[in-house]
Structure 1
Amino acid sequence: MTKTVTEIQNIVNQLAEKINAPSYLLPTFSSPIGDATPNIEVDNLGLYNYVISERGNEYERKLTSDLNDLLYWIFASVTFSMACDYELKNRIEEKDCRRIMFEKQEELLGILNEDWKEKEIKEHQNILNNNPFDDLAGLRATYCGELRTKGISESEIDKLAFEKYPE
Structure 2
Amino acid sequence: MYIVEERGMELERRRTANIDVLLYWIMSDVIFFLASQYELENRAKGFDSRRLIFKKEIELFKVLKKEWGNITETRINQILEETPYND
> Under a length normalisation based on structure 1, what TM-score does the superposition of the two structures give?
0.50
SS at 2:46 equivalent:
coil
Give the equivalent residue in structure 1 for 2:77.
125
CA distance in structure 1 between the aligned counterparts of 2:8 and 2:47, rounded to whole angstroms: 39
CA distance in structure 1 between the aligned counterparts of 2:55 and 2:68, rounded to whole angstroms: 13
Task: Give CA-to-partner distance per residue, 1:92-119, whole Å, 9 cap, x none.
Answer: 1021111111000110011001111111
Give the equivalent residue in structure 2 for 1:77.
29
Provide the identity percentage: 39
Q: Does 1:98 align with 2:50?
A: yes
Give the equivalent residue in structure 2 for 1:67.
19
Q: Which amino acid aligns with 1:118?
A: N
Task: Give CA-to-partner distance per residue, 1:100-157, whole Å, 9 cap, x none.
Answer: 110001100110011111111111111101110111xxxxxxxxxxxxxxxxxxxxxx
CA distance in structure 1 between the aligned counterparts of 2:29 and 2:56, rounded to whole angstroms: 13
More helix by share: 2
SS at 1:64 equivalent:
coil
Give the equivalent residue in structure 1 for 2:41.
89
SS at 1:87 equivalent:
helix
Larger of the two Rg values belongs to structure: 1
**Superposed counterparts of 1:30-45, under 5 Å:** none
Superposed displacement of residue 51, structure 1: 0.5
Q: Please give the root-mean-square deviation of Cα atoms over the aligned residues, in Å.
A: 1.0
Higher RCO by CA contacts (8 Å cutoff, separation 6 or greater): 2
